[in-house]
Structure 1
Amino acid sequence: MIEYLKSRIRPIRYITGMISILLMVISLAAFAIKGLNMGLDFTGGMVTEAVIDSSVSKVQLIDQLQPVLGESVTVTPSGEEGRWVIRYPLAAEGTAPVDMASTLHHISEHVQIVSNSMVGSQVGQELVDQGGLALLICLLSILGYLSFRFEWRLASGALLALLHDVILVLGFFAITQMEFNLTVFAAVLAVLGYSLNDSIIIADRIRELLLVKQKTPTADINDQAVIATFSRTMVTSGTTLMTISALWLMGGAPLQGFAIAMFIGVISGTWSSISIGTVLPEWLGLEPKHYLPVELDAAP
């Protein structure tokens, strides 16, 4: 595997870099055209927890609720058998609220409403604002760190790799119209941290090689840096994906969005740190001289 990479790593980096740009364009187009299917955490709505007969399946429950509450209703199991959490939009203004107990009695003899709470649209808008602020602070902090740690040409590659990963995750949720809720947003922030770590490992190796091999072309140095860190990258990403896969398969519906976002983010983070993270600094003219100490003129 390593020998194959040594002979073909440069075309692999360039081709994957172009593919990454294409995927970013597609994701941005999907995000602009379709937007995100924002969950009740952001839009506001009702959350009802109910206990019904354990013989009632999730499909039966959804088939009963959708004609009454709309297509956006979601149903998730809540611990014990027969206990469900039902999320649905607020009733339109001037419309009587839905009697959940009466609706559920059509498919279950025993119905117990455990809790019924409302997330107002104002609270949802506050969550959108706070989430956007958290994402902005995170990106600015990362930008400040990269600017301090690396020369701007090398830092720009790591920063674009971060944006690439976030855009791909958002693009996937825009294309599939899966619900984008607070857990998915938390996954986006986690992806930022994970991708940054991978990009820094490769960028740090590039910086070391630029200082040691000052007469070597930058493209060759980038190839050597990717090959030198490839085994570590694959082991780290592989073990992380195994954990996320277990969470995806056994975590159930409440964690599905989080696991999917993390899965896509880890794959794209590994991909982008090898492609965009190394190709962009080359295009910007990164050279060994940019890491040489600046000589000061002697005082007269």
Structure 2
Amino acid sequence: MKFKYPTRWRYACSAISALLMILSVALISCRGLNLGLDFTGGVVSEIRVDSHLRDTTIRPILQQAYGQDIHLIAAGEPGRWVLRYPVPAANATPPQIAQVLAPLHTNVEVLNTSIVGPQVGAELAEQGGLALVVAVVCILGYLSFRFEWRLASGALLALVHDVIFVVAFFAATQMEFNLTVLAAVLAILGYSLNDSIIIADRIRELLMAKPDIPLPQINNMAIAATFSRTMVTSGTTLLTVAALWLMGGEPLRGFSIAMFIGILTGTFSSISVGTSLPEWLGLSSEHYRPQVLPQQP
């Protein structure tokens, strides 16, 4: 497939990505994540009430009855809500939700209730963070071995770009960030790394085969050579994830949304961010030119 990816477009996309990354980090810092029961511990109940009731009506009554802050989140359909609050003390008996909401004169249906202790939640958060750190360290080791550091830096920045975008989306929407979403983030790391390596490997081959061609043109040639493969792979994966999103139900909703965003941003960052950063760091064919070993030992 003949495809020319103008350098100015690639630079513009890289500038947009840098700006959005800054905004995403600011958004995560300001709003934070709506950590799920897996990480925080507590009681989660899912209820169904009349669809005309709003959170501004339900939350004050619940907070007064339970004597603490109640997280109330819409569950995807009118009248369906998710309540989350800390585990009550050992000797305390929390009031029944149906009794608490009786003044609203609505039919209250408690669909399910889950309880996770704070120690279990803290352990899950620690293990999840450790898994993320181990994955990043392994990726760093692999990139350091496979590529020259300037080219490896582009692939690494593309990974950071994708993870930040996914986390910023969950911070902006305040969707629940649980272990399932964390698993999606780890999957995105592997998917984006694979895409970045395909393009970086092609850049390395072209630098060695055509050392007289300027790097911006080398990058354009590498993108053109891998564009069809990237679009086919990303497109088929997006179709699978979209089907999971539409038909997987509420338990897989966070996972599928995170994967969908990660695949889109991973494809975008591999083409723009992963190729532009090595240019700015001064990558050239000299860095892949074979070194002549001295005759004398």
Q: TM-score, normalised by structure 1?
A: 0.83
- Where 2:6 maps in the other structure, the secondary structure is helix
Structure 2: which 5+ residue stretches go unaligned?
A: 64-68
Residue 123 of structure 1 corresponds to: 120
- Where 2:43 maps in the other structure, the secondary structure is strand
CA deviation vs aligned residue, 1:211-251 (integer Å, no higher than 9, x gap): 11011111111010001111111111111111111111222
Total equivalences in the alignment:
284
- Alignment RMSD (CA, Å): 3.0
Q: Distance in 2 between matches of 1:112 and 1:175?
A: 28
Structure 1: which 5+ residue stretches go unaligned?
A: 51-55, 78-83
Q: TM-score, normalised by structure 2?
A: 0.84
Bigger mean CA offset, 174-183 vs 84-93 = 84-93
Q: Summarize the Cα distance change of 1:173–1:211 in structure 2 as closer, same or farther, 3 Å threshold.
A: same
Equivalent residue runs for 1:97-176 within 5 Å: 97-100=94-97, 102=99, 117-176=114-173
1:295 to 280, 283, 292: 292
Q: Distance in 1 between matches of 2:113 and 2:101?
A: 14
Q: Summarize the Cα distance change of 1:61–1:135 in structure 2 as closer, same or farther, 3 Å threshold.
A: farther
Conserved 8 A contact 1:76-1:254: no
Residue 246 of structure 2 corresponds to: 249
| Pair 1:68-2:62 in alignment | yes
Q: Distance in 2 between matches of 1:74 and 1:275?
A: 37
Q: Summarize the Cα distance change of 1:60–1:189 in structure 2 as closer, same or farther, 3 Å threshold.
A: farther
- Where 1:294 maps in the other structure, the secondary structure is coil
- Where 2:95 maps in the other structure, the secondary structure is coil
| Pair 1:273-2:267 in alignment | no
Q: Distance in 2 between matches of 1:235 and 1:174?
A: 30
| Pair 1:196-2:193 in alignment | yes
CA deviation vs aligned residue, 1:102-127 (integer Å, no higher than 9, x gap): 56897569x899x8552112221212
CA deviation vs aligned residue, 1:134-160 (integer Å, no higher than 9, x gap): 111000000101111111111110000
| Pair 1:182-2:176 in alignment | no
- Where 1:97 maps in the other structure, the secondary structure is coil
Report percent identity of matched pairs: 57
1:31 to 28, 51, 75: 28
Bigger mean CA offset, 214-223 vs 253-262 = 253-262
Aligned AA for 2:225?
A
Q: Distance in 1 between matches of 2:16 and 2:120?
A: 39
Q: Distance in 2 between matches of 1:260 and 1:36?
A: 16
Conserved 8 A contact 2:45-2:110: no
Equivalent residue runs for 1:17-28 within 5 Å: 17-28=14-25
Residue 66 of structure 2 corresponds to: none
Aligned AA for 1:126?
E
Q: Summarize the Cα distance change of 1:144–1:183 in structure 2 as closer, same or farther, 3 Å threshold.
A: same
1:88 to 84, 89, 97: 84
Residue 80 of structure 1 corresponds to: none
- Where 1:243 maps in the other structure, the secondary structure is helix
